[in-house]
Amino acid sequence: MGVVSIIVPVYNVSEYLDRCLESLIGQTYRDLEIIVVDDGSTDGSETKCDDWAQSDGRIKVVHQRNKGLSGARNTGLDSANGEYILFVDSDDFVDSKYVELLYKKATDTASDIAICNYSFVNDIGQQIDNNNYTSYTSDAYMDGADMLLLFENKSYKTFFDVVWNKLFKRELFDGVRFPEGVSVVEDIAVMPILYHGAKRVSVIPDKLYYYVYREESLSHTKRSEQEDLDIRIPMMEDRLVHYLEWGIKEISLLHITHMYSMYRRRIGDYNDRLHELQREFRNIYFKGNYTKGISFSRRIKFALGAVSLRLYDRIVALR
């Protein structure tokens, strides 16, 4: 069995930290390296990290000045020695078979990424509903291009976007790190790169990760639509560069439709960029073949986009 490194960024979560780490040391899969990165905590979490390391030799603690979630994850990646990587946020917790079942799926199917489903819970662990999160229950495996299409498919909210419900082959992170200085949605900056590097990705229907909804969590801070667009659009521009470089026609087209819609909603004069996106869309549409078999309805939508992305955006908005 290979060593699995679990990276746990910690920042002022003293109330939740014991439950998180207890769920990790209680894993049925025992060959673990648990890297706890104290990101400059001031609420006693830093002491708890050291106490847990004294109680279980598999726990390794790194203390650093505050760098944010991305910086803490990057420190964990730099310290990891395992063949596989997992991320667990320190206010969340996991099922006792979280590692075992993901590892088994990855090794049985020779997958570079294995994904599980999750439960959305409150502070005391009771399951709650949330329409912003969507599960994917197919017990299947796919290639990287399949995953990029699912990533760009906005019907699957969060499931394919985040890193915390996924087991990764260590090599996928060679040269890949989270963007520091970004306080939210940092996962979506790296997931496309990881999917593209994966030859095979597996999904299991089991709900093994418990995502704890906390109102005070940074990811749940209410942002205006314009603030959200200011964060997401630069990431989408970076992603488009990758998609064009990789030459996957249908993913580039789908991504441009999302970018066009966002620029239309952003306050300011972005007509020049909208015209550029229309030209780019047409250039891609009339060049080369689709990599994957896409639905007839998707082909019709792309044909409409080649005529007018503005019309495409209006029709999609009406659905």
Is residue 257 domain-shared with residue 281, that is, in the same domain?
yes
Q: What is the pLDDT of residue 141?
A: 81
Based on the fold, state whether residues 204 and 250 are members of the same structural domain: no
Specify whether 242 is located in the same domain as 196.
no
Check residue 290 and give its pLDDT.
86
Q: Are residues 159 and 65 in the same domain?
A: yes
- Of 190, 220, 250, the position where a domain reaches its end is 220
Enclosing H/E stretch for 84: strand 84-87
Residue 2 CA to residue 292 CA, distance in Å, equals 33
pTM across the whole model: 0.92
User: Could you tell me the residue range of the domain that residue 270 belongs to?
Assistant: 225-318
Q: How far apart (Å, rounded) are the C-alpha atoms in residues 134 and 131? A: 7
pLDDT of residue 214: 72
pLDDT at 319: 57
Residues 308 and 171 in one domain: no
Per-residue model confidence as pLDDT tens digits over 115-139? 999 998 988 777 887 665 666 777 7
CATH label of the domain that carries residue 69: 3.90.550.10
Domain boundary among 220, 255, 278: 220
* Same domain assignment for residues 138 and 260: no
Same domain, 147 and 28: yes
Q: Given the structure tokens 């597996």, which residue do they identify?
A: 202
Question: What's the number of domains the chain is made of?
Answer: 2
CA atoms within 13 A on the CB side of 281: 25
- Residue after which a domain boundary falls, among 170, 198, 220: 220
Same domain, 214 and 229: no
CA atoms within 13 A on the CB side of 302: 24
Same domain, yes or no, for 55 and 96?
A: yes
Tens-place pLDDT, residues 56-100:
999 999 999 999 999 999 999 999 999 999 999 999 999 999 999
User: How many angstroms separate the CA atoms of 258 and 274, rounded?
Assistant: 12
Q: Say yes or no: 190 and 301 in one domain.
A: no
The per-residue pLDDT for 184 is: 77
In this prediction, residue 215 carries a pLDDT of: 64
237-246 long-range CB contacts below 8 Å, 24 or more apart? 238/189, 239/188, 239/189, 239/192, 242/192, 242/193, 242/196, 243/148, 243/192, 244/284, 246/196
Same domain, 10 and 143: yes
pLDDT at residue 134, rounded to an integer:
65
Do residues 174 and 69 both lie within one domain? yes
CA distances from 63 to 9, 209, 221 (A): 10, 26, 26
Q: What integer pLDDT is reported at residue 317 of this predicted model?
A: 64
Structure tokens at 228: 């959200």
What residue ranges of the chain have pLDDT lower than 50? 218, 220
